[in-house]
Structure formats: structure tokens, C-alpha cells
Structure 1
Amino acid sequence: MSLLAGPAVADVKAGVDAWSGGEYAKAVNEWREPAKKGDPDAQFNLAQAYKLGRGVKQDLKIAEQWYQRAANQGHLQAADSLGHLLHYQGRIKEALPLLQASSARGEPRAQYLLATELFNGVNIQKDWVRAYALMTRASAAGLAPASRNLAEMDKYIPLEQRQKGVALAGEIETATAQKRAAQVTGFPINTKAPVAVAKPIDVPPSKTTKAVEPGFPGTIPALNGKTTQPEPAKTAKKPAAVAGSWRIQLGAFGSEANAKKLWASLQQKVDGLSGTTYSLVPAGNLSRLQAGPFANRSDAEAMFTKVKSAVVGQGCLIIAP
């Protein structure tokens, strides 16, 4: 078996390089044999090709089969993608166990979809506190539809449950960070179009028609059965972390006046909080009340503990730079 492992990995990497250069059919040919021999990275990448219809004719049934085979071997990205695909096809009950596992690892799209199901309570027992917590985490990860749905949730979920949701979101953040650390990435392919180089390289066009990827990005289910279209993907790089930019989040409000009212109240109750600066960070229709900055995570955690001790039930999150 060790003799097969080296060449198989080499073939998978060669396929990734071909894919990155826009040679999708060549990439598929590189992955097919390793996938048949059981290489989970090749199986995952082959599933991606069939889902997108690049290098092969789009076939969601075949994509599902390859995702399943890779997921059965513990390939976490394949399990994530399989859950998304099943949900996209309306096979909610089949998707839920996968979405729950992905969500527990901190996968934002799974958190978004699971939060929607928990809010609506059609295919799973309704739980507005957990729904708000998961939607908060998905929003913090940058999913624009999640930010919009948080604003919608504010219209239905009582303030007390929203505050519990924010507190739970902090606990979820800590728990998922530990699981993400153990995740194996392998050789995942980049599903975005290749970036143009200074000197274009002539590559024969694929004979197949490029298809729109189903699921995400695409039509994303929103609350109460409605659908929303996500904003175009942003290609700007995340700025590097700056020392002293740790903050704590004290809540999310549809009204800035309510956020400022809470800030005034907390300053009187929490020792040392008045020495920080508050900011209102826009997120869709919400204003997120944050305080800081703190020099490091330890200082942020210290203030987090003071807030939780001084005001029972007060939601609080640690915001990394």
C-alpha cells in the first residue's frame, strides 16, 4: 500500500495544478484513477468537478456518489459539501446529520443552513436560541445572507432569547475552534476561476459548458421558506492582525439607541469597562456593540469574564483581530 500512496498523491497534486490553470479535463483525468483506487482527496476533487460541470458534463448524482465515498473515509470537506448538496436538492432530513456535524466544526454555510432549519422548525425541533447563535456565527464568518437573516430574527425572537443566543454563540466559537484544529485539508481544489497571469497562456477551451455551481454560492434558503441571492464574492484579502485590536462584543441591535443604552448601563456595572472605547459595527441592518481595544486575547478574556460575572445572562463574544 505504501508504494501506491506516493504516486497517487502526486497524481492528485498534478490534477490540482491543472485545474488551477483552467485545464479542467486534464485535471479530471489525473484524479480518476486515484479516486477509483480509494484516494479521498481525488474522490472529493472529482465530485467537485461533476458538481460544477468543469472538465465533465455536470451530474449531481455522480458528484454525490464521489462525495459520499470520500466522506466515508473521513474527508471532512467532502462531508461538508455532501450536506450542502443534499440540502440544495431538498433532501433536508438526509442533510441534517451532515449539517449538524459540519456546524459543530464551525463550517459557516452549514451553520447558516442549520440555523434556518432551527428557526423554521419544520424538519427539526424549533430552537430559536440555538438558531440565533448559529446565525450569529455564520454572520461573523462573513456570510451576507446570515447578517440579513439576523435582522429578520430580531423581529420574531424575544430579546431575552436573543441575548442567550449571543452568549451561546461565544461558547460555540470556542468549541468549534478546537475541532477545526484537527481538520485535515488534503489537496482541495480552488473552485474559483483561475486568476489571469501577466503573460496569458494559450489553453484549449473545454468542450463542456461551464455550469453554475448549485447550492452555495447560488440561491440560498432564507427564513420562512423565502430565498435570497448572496452578494458577489469578495476577493480582497483579509488584513493582517494588528496588535491591540482584540475586542469583545456585547450584543447586536436593530436600533443604535438601544445599543448605546446598554453601553451606558454596562459601564456602571462592569469594573474597568469605562476605560475602553465602544464602537457600533454595522452588519446588515444590525449594529454590533463592541468594546476595546485589548492588547491580547488574555486581556479580552479578562474583561469577558468581568462582564459575565457582573451581569447575569449578558451576551458577550470575544472578537479576534
Structure 2
Amino acid sequence: MTRVLLTGGSGFIAVHVLEALLTQGHSVVTTVRSDAKAQMLRDTFPNYGTDKLDFAIVADMAEEGAFDEAVKSDPPFEWVIHTASPFHFNITDTKKDLLDPAIIGTTGILNAIKKNAPSVKRVIITSSFAAIFSPKIGNRPGYTYSEKDWNPTTEEDAIQDPPSGYRASKTFAEKAAWDFIETEKPSFTISTMNPPMVFGPIHPKLQTLDTLNTSNQRIRDMMVGKSQDEIPAAGVYVWVDVRDLAVAHVRAAERPSAAGKRFFVTAGYYSNREIADILREQLPDVASKIATKGGEFPEGEHAVQYNQEAAGLMFLVGYFEYDNSRTEDILGIQYRSLQDMVKDTIPTLQAVGA
């Protein structure tokens, strides 16, 4: 059994990480913003006492010293998994609502660990494909993205619009973490998880149709008839199931070979058209509400091969290639299929009214 601090425990990704940790018998303290959030998690995992699941209130992770007390524990922590970071576009101030919480939250917890938790040896940080992908260059047909790539975004880019602000927040926060390791030379190592679109089942006690994570909103919209005229383009055409991402976080903490590395955690390509097709197959009663045009994978002259296994098709697409071999070789991740993800997600969305 390992004692683990998990930040942002009620978040979409974090609650699956929490479930993976508890299932494996670890003892977890998770930070939440309020007592109400703590109670919601208690209700979600009622079979775990305080020796296995406990809470620390961190109301605002952008405040100086926000994590100073949270990192203290008896027995002491050995791992910290830092998932807490804003991911939404309902903002009024990019710096205040996105950049500061992400950057200060990340450097703040690393400083707190160094000062107050010398027992911690492994820190896992949830970053994003947004910190890898370069939107200025576009889809880059024929180029292979991997952990070696960095988004070249600037502070000027960040204030252009909320999506740019989000991408910048993930990039700046992750770079700040690696810079911390380089300059402060703490006794712990870090690994970062860099997932693209994250889909998958929700925990109905923690989310409603109005508070879904941004990726799952696409599935919700199709289920409730918001895509009757045309299926929207995906924008980002690589994805991962949240359950696989959760396992990746835990294995990165468990395996010494993961220390000091980034991980591009992706199952591969998808399109909103494929999701729509699966929904129509699984939900014949709502099939008429889902458009049959639009949402295809982009095509182009300089293209990569895309194997659409569900349809038995192989065709050329104008999009980048990806290299997720590190997640398979070091973390041993075997990715779920898009069909299994959608099938498992449907009943959890129905449970909250979809």
C-alpha cells in the first residue's frame, strides 16, 4: 500500500485516477475545493474509510502556499498525482481564470512538496496534448507528433481567445514543472501525462449534463439532438478513454522507468462521424435525431493512412501521425476501442438525463 496525494479529486480525470488507486489498495488523500465536494466523493466511494480515502480542502490553488498543509501526512506521502487544472472556455479573464491556476498551481505544489514532504519520491502531472501540438502549423500531414514536441505558444497568443488560453495554460504549466526540476533539483522525479481529447464514462454523482467535461459534451449533444442538421468537425482527431488515462497515471508512479518522461497518452484517431455512427447503432430510439452528414476525418493530398476498423476501410487523411509507443512500452497501456468507450459512456450520460 502506498500513501498518495491526489489533487482535484472531483474532476473528470481525477475521479478515475482515484478509483484506480483505491481499487489497487492504495491510501489516498485528495484535495477538493469544498466540504460539499468531499461529501460527493464519499458518496461515490462509500466503501472506503478515512484510512483509505480522506480529504484536504484547497479552495484556491492559485493562492501562495495553497498546498503547504495538504502535502503533510501521517503516514507520509510517497506519490503525488497532480490533476487539478481548469479546462473550460467559460472565462472572462484568461490570465486569472486559466493561466494563473494552471501555472501557479503546478509550481505551488512542487514547492510545497520540496519544503514539507521529503518522503515524496514520484510526482505525476496531468498535462495535455495541447502542450505538444502546434496550432500555428496546423494538422501537418505526414508529420509524427511525439513527446519530443512542444507547443510554441506565447503569452501574446494566450490572450487571443479561450482555446488559445487553455493551450497556453497547459504548455506554460508543464514547462514550469520541468524548469522546477532543472533549477531546484528536488529529491523527487516527475512524469507528465499528455492526453488529447478525453472521453469516457462519468460518475453521475459528480457531474450533470451541464457540468460535463468538454470532450464528453460532444457525445451528450448528439444524444439530445443538438446535431440534427450536421455533425460538427472534431477539430482534434486523436483521443483516449479516461480509464486508460487513469491507469497511465498510476503506472507512471509505480514504474521507475517512467521517471523524468512525458507520455503522449492516445488511443489513436477518431472522428465525430464515428461516434455518431456508434450512437445510432446503440440507441435506435434517438437515431433520427443524429445527422448523417458531416463530422468526417479530414482528407488531404499529403496524407497518412487511417484504418477505420469499425467500417473495414483504409483511406488517406490530411492529418498528422502520432507516436504513442512510449505509453505502450513503458506503461504497458492496452487502449480501449472507440466503440467500447461510447457503449460504456452512454448509460452514465443517461443516468443524468441524456
TM-score bin, normalised by smaller chain = under 0.3
**Could you state the TM-score of these two structures normalised by the residue count of structure 2?**
0.25
Structure of greater Rg: 1
Structure in which a larger fraction of residues adopt helix: 1
